[in-house]
Structure 1
Amino acid sequence: MKLKYRNYIRPIFYTIFGLFVVFACQKINPFEDVELTVNTDIYKAPILLRFVDGNADATKVPEGLTVTISGPDKSLVLDDAGGKDYTVIGNVLPLVLNKNVKPSEANPIEFTVAVSGVGYVSTSKTITVVSADSTLAFDVPLTSVASPPHGTAAATSVLSLTTGSTINVPATADKAETAQITIAPGTQVKDATGNVINATTVKTQVVQYGTETQEALTSFPGGFAAENVAMQNGTTTEGSFITGGFVAVDMEAEGKKVTSFSKPIDVKVGVSTELENPETGQKVHEGDKIPTWSYDSETGEWKEEGEAIVTKGADGKLTATFKAAHLSYWNLDWYYRGCSNRSTTLKFRVASNINTYTNSYDFYGYLYLVAPNGSRSYYTSISNFDVLNGNLNNGFINAGRAPNNFRVQLDIFSRNSSALIGRSAAFDPCSSTPVNVNVSVPNIPPYINIDIDFTVKCSNKTLNIKPSTWVDFYDSIDRRWASTYARSGKASTTLREGRPYTFYTYYDGKSYSGRVTFGKNSSTIVTSGGIGITGNTSYNASTGRVSVLASYTANDCK
């Protein structure tokens, strides 16, 4: 790791240099055996993306991931060391913005993070920043092909281009629908440059997302708030999708990624018999037309393609059928343009039975679109929600992308029990008026307030660095993460009292970790494998707070 602190301490060096000149004639070094401590808080809007498995039963986090940054403001996005080496550390990606940025609701900064990895469906997350002082943390669900989320299913096969072939995605216990991709005999496949790949077979992977489980909906690649939508009339807009089903199709021939075909392929996607058509308020039936959209997981762009026709089989099941001339992720969706105030940050005013701080990561919210006919469709989530009575800090950024003829409703859940603990009335997403939400939390676990003082000790220099960095806490009992951001080494958070945590910090492509239990007794931080964090904790009975002194050693401070 190279700790890049030149920008932080250049003024200090100038002062030191002047003092050396003064003392030079006396051959005295006034700083001999003196250890400098330097703060490192110059970048803006720290962002943490944690890539998680969309399957709630998964016991391992995604690994071996790579990311790319695109979008209108990609040049302003930096890694946490101030460069552009966007490295996923385990399953975590820390980012910051250029120190000169001044984002606002009127002039937000937007960029898209695309993520891919062997064995996972590629996806992307578009991030909007409206304040340079904000700290943003997101959980991004990934779909494992080997063990997909409930309500999804995958199939892989080698298809013949010479004789033509079909691949079928089967129904499962929690997804009654099937999907089918058919390649016609004599079809040629092409690469990204449009050149024909000389191949007779093609490796094919299809993942189908149903519409009846929350896991499938939250794992939906790209999400339902669409920031970059190319319409058939040549315009680009943004808004929201209500999905009728989704298939992620990947093909490879002779080691090259397939992007298009000489003959369109036939795509059949099963449609739930319980799915409501938001245009009519009635369940989807034979003869309905559902618009089709392609999705580029590398750029986050949606493109209007055409329509799928719904047919009904002898078994009573519904299928939407269409042709695809190019390879993409394909979505059956009704699309609605958003409000004109696209970057509105909507606030929620909480009334609850919680009057002391809890950990917001123990609570989360789902937002639903409410159609004029009253039907609800999942829209997006708030991955952590502060349930403290009177709180007004939970933000819904880009509320204006919700359809302007729909309303939105917020449901709040406890991660401890997955129980619904609060619900707002349906509200206008185009308004900037705070929304009231009543929350009642049962069986509140004991929490304790924590103050962290973090230091990086340079073994090759008489220098300490107070890092500005994310600090993550992992509760192995509940398999749950919590995060806070340390500015110049200082951070505060609230965690479960008496729980053992592994906590991590990150910098320049490396992670550092230690184990500790936060309680009313002093404790020692135990190094947790790899490059370790050491230190201790102490409890102040008069303030009811735990102080944490933590550090790790770096041997390559430059």
Structure 2
Amino acid sequence: MKKLLSLFTFMLFATVLLNSCRNPAYEMNVLFDADVIKYKATLILKGAAGETLPANITVEAAGQDAASIYDFSGTKKIYAPAGVITLGVTPKDIPTASKTLAFNVKITAPGYEDKNIEMTIAENQFSQVIEVTMLKTVLPTEASVVKIVEAALSPTGATTAPISIVTPVNGDVEQSTSITVPTGTQFKDAAGNVIVGSAVTAQAINFDPSDPLSVELFPAGSLSSSNVVLPNGQTGEAFFLPAGFTDIQMFVGGVEVKNFTNPISISIGLDPDFRPQATGLPLAVGDKLGIYAYRTEVGQFTYEGEGTVALVNGKLTVTFSTNHLTVFIVGDVVVKPASCLDPSLTFSAPWMTNGATEPMTLEIYDTSDKLLATGPTIVSNGKVEVLTGLPSFAVKFKLINNAGKVLASGNITDPCAGGNINVTVDNPGSNVQSISLILNVKCPNKGFIIVPNFDLFYKPAGAPASAYTLLGTTSQGVLRTTLLTIGASYDFRATWNNQIKEVKGRTITSADMSTVVGENDFLGDKSPAFNKSLLIEACKGF
């Protein structure tokens, strides 16, 4: 790993000192992955309300195969510079035909809901990109509202009167969650100890499951989970269809409350357009829905019981009692059969010439056009995309480019039948240009080496930092894209370890933006001899 860090250090040095009149691609050499790490996964974090995320984000790999997961810079400590997490698989534990790696990525940021993302890496799945939406707990969104209440406690830490927390309703979120904590209730920490303090702070976030954003805000960032404790007590894979869900947290003296000495009552307002799987009819009084709890710290959903739909203040609601706090979900859960085989899409896009790629958004809907999943995919002509995490019932898909235009759509009648679906990706109709960014590194006495892969982000020159979006992932030093235009200027950004590198105001001057970094290059005020000595050190072991 030391030699890879040395090479990156040299390249970072080179890009900083280059004269601005040099080939713009010369300054795009900003991120180098470990060539020995063949499998890469990128998680791109974003704020639910479009806000800038804090810098002090903590990331941890956990679960079954966590020991095989590293930051792509080669360290066990995982970083998230500019909200980008890049993970790699240690070479001694790469996935095989009989072994798909499974692990969780735990993400915490001050003032935000914790995230625990389930991930898998299969054989030949060398690269994947996942978007993770982070919710600031005090900030409402188009799909969520929040209510915070503080109440005084007795000297023993007990409530002296009932505490009521009711989330507001507005034009975006028309359902409400209400919580009642009875008089004389004490609060317990994760170890079961009673917490003594002068006051309790209670926070409830209620979500509108009919809003498309709620799919991204759902626990674990997906409606699909492989870690669901079902009504029969068995743990399996399932797909959630929520009619309502809420996240409730309480603190006494800064200590998080996990349990109570007395049961509390929770009423969750339901989406009136929800249709239970059992009937297929509009939700009605007397319908039965499952109640599940999600524990973020372990990334597991657990069946809590069954609730009966009632009419409360003119709105459909499920009320239940509990002695613990967590995220609660009311709705249907569709179990995925163990025999289920994931289908795949093969993209046909002959207008994407010379191996050009373009990040697009793949959306999954049910047959009534309710959004079930959304996420980025990097499209190229002939690429095969395996669809994981689908439900077992019929779905539809849409492929949408960055301009919001639907370039492909189709149906998947049986998502558990496996097989391949050929998808024709329409030409967007504009003057598509294929721009090649090619980097060659020439090591002294060794010749050219293969440059490891890296992710590159871009935005129009001078646009705010929030405008950065994924341009693509290089393959052996080559990135061909249809997103850049000759004559236009862009800012570029990439990350490595905990470092951020930006190159601003670079103009694309031709379709072929190739460059070579070698021992005879004169970089800034540094002589070729000096650069040769750096390259000799950086290229050791290649």
Above 0.5 in TM-score? yes
Separation in 2 of the partners of 1:185 and 1:39?
58
Does the 8 Å CA contact 2:307/2:319 hold for their aligned counterparts? yes
Deviation at 1:439, TM superposition (A): 4.4
Deviation at 1:73, TM superposition (A): 0.7
What per-residue deviation string (whole Å, max 9, x for no partner) do you get for residues 435-472 of structure 1?
Answer: 24454454436433222427799xxxxxx998645332
Identity %: 21
Superposition pairs for residues 219-258 of structure 1, below 5 Å? Answer: 219-222=217-220, 223-258=222-257
SS at match of 1:229: strand
Separation in 2 of the partners of 1:191 and 1:456?
59
For the pair 1:504 / 2:493, whether they are aligned, the reply is yes
Question: Which residue of 388, 409, 420 maps to 1:397?
Answer: 388
Superposition pairs for residues 424-443 of structure 1, below 5 Å? Answer: 424-443=410-429
Separation in 2 of the partners of 1:158 and 1:336?
38
Separation in 1 of the partners of 2:310 and 2:440?
62
What per-residue deviation string (whole Å, max 9, x for no partner) do you get for residues 54-74 of structure 1?
Answer: 23xx25345432122212111
What per-residue deviation string (whole Å, max 9, x for no partner) do you get for residues 191-242 of structure 1?
Answer: 1111111124222222111122111222222111111112344321112111
Superposition pairs for residues 89-488 of structure 1, below 5 Å? Answer: 89-104=81-96, 106-131=98-123, 134-160=126-152, 161-222=159-220, 223-314=222-313, 316-341=314-339, 344-350=341-347, 354-356=351-353, 359-361=357-359, 363-370=360-367, 375=368, 377-384=370-377, 386=379, 391-399=382-390, 402-403=391-392, 406-417=393-404, 419-444=405-430, 446-453=432-439, 468=452, 470-476=454-460, 479-486=467-474
Does the 8 Å CA contact 1:450/1:492 hold for their aligned counterparts? yes
Separation in 2 of the partners of 1:467 and 1:205?
49
What per-residue deviation string (whole Å, max 9, x for no partner) do you get for residues 229-257 of structure 1?
Answer: 12344321112111111111122211211
Separation in 1 of the partners of 2:173 and 2:166?
14
What per-residue deviation string (whole Å, max 9, x for no partner) do you get for residues 289-321 of structure 1?
Answer: 21111112222211111122221134x321121
Separation in 2 of the partners of 1:454 and 1:64?
35
Q: What is the identity, as a one-letter code, of the residue corresponding to 1:412?
A: L
Segment of structure 1 superposing worse, 124-133 or 276-285: 124-133
Partner of 1:53: 47
- Compared CA separation, residues 6 and 244, structure 1 to 2 (3 A): closer
- Compared CA separation, residues 285 and 548, structure 1 to 2 (3 A): farther
Separation in 2 of the partners of 1:385 and 1:346?
17
What per-residue deviation string (whole Å, max 9, x for no partner) do you get for residues 308-359 of structure 1?
Answer: 2221134x321121122111111113111113245x4422134568454665
Question: Which residue of 76, 80, 84 maps to 2:72?
Answer: 80
Separation in 1 of the partners of 2:5 and 2:357?
34
Deviation at 1:502, TM superposition (A): 2.6
Deviation at 1:136, TM superposition (A): 1.3
What per-residue deviation string (whole Å, max 9, x for no partner) do you get for residues 347-373 of structure 1?
Answer: 213456845466532x21211244xxx
SS at match of 1:513: strand
What per-residue deviation string (whole Å, max 9, x for no partner) do you get for residues 401-439 of structure 1?
Answer: x22xx122212223313x444321232111221124454
SS at match of 1:277: coil
Does the 8 Å CA contact 2:146/2:206 hold for their aligned counterparts? yes
Show structure 1 runs of 5+ residues with no match: 10-37, 458-463, 522-538
- Compared CA separation, residues 148 and 394, structure 1 to 2 (3 A): farther
What per-residue deviation string (whole Å, max 9, x for no partner) do you get for residues 483-533 of structure 1?
Answer: 5444665554443214433322322222222124352x2xxxxxxxxxxxx
Does the 8 Å CA contact 1:201/1:253 hold for their aligned counterparts? yes
- Compared CA separation, residues 204 and 4, structure 1 to 2 (3 A): farther
Aligned length: 484
- Compared CA separation, residues 426 and 99, structure 1 to 2 (3 A): closer
Does the 8 Å CA contact 1:469/1:506 hold for their aligned counterparts? no
Does the 8 Å CA contact 1:157/1:204 hold for their aligned counterparts? yes
- Compared CA separation, residues 414 and 98, structure 1 to 2 (3 A): same
Does the 8 Å CA contact 1:424/1:438 hold for their aligned counterparts? no
SS at match of 2:209: coil
Does the 8 Å CA contact 1:425/1:437 hold for their aligned counterparts? no
- Compared CA separation, residues 392 and 467, structure 1 to 2 (3 A): closer
Does the 8 Å CA contact 2:209/2:271 hold for their aligned counterparts? yes
For the pair 1:495 / 2:483, whether they are aligned, the reply is yes
Separation in 2 of the partners of 1:248 and 1:349?
39
Measured on the aligned residues, the alpha-carbon RMSD in Å equals 3.3
Show structure 2 runs of 5+ residues with no match: 8-31, 153-158, 518-522, 525-530
Separation in 2 of the partners of 1:516 and 1:179?
49
Greater strand content:
1
Separation in 1 of the partners of 2:428 and 2:477?
35
TM-score normalized with structure 2 length:
0.80
SS at match of 1:282: coil
Separation in 2 of the partners of 1:486 and 1:437?
24
SS at match of 1:360: strand
Q: What is the identity, as a one-letter code, of the residue corresponding to 2:119?
A: I
Q: What is the identity, as a one-letter code, of the residue corresponding to 2:256?
A: K
- Compared CA separation, residues 438 and 336, structure 1 to 2 (3 A): same
SS at match of 2:384: coil
SS at match of 1:242: strand
SS at match of 2:52: coil
Q: What is the identity, as a one-letter code, of the residue corresponding to 1:413?
A: I
Q: What is the identity, as a one-letter code, of the residue corresponding to 1:93?
A: I
SS at match of 1:90: helix
Q: What is the identity, as a one-letter code, of the residue corresponding to 2:374?
A: S
SS at match of 2:214: helix
Higher relative contact order (CA closer than 8 Å, sequence separation 6+)? 2
Separation in 2 of the partners of 1:7 and 1:341?
44
SS at match of 2:204: strand
Q: What is the identity, as a one-letter code, of the residue corresponding to 2:287?
A: D
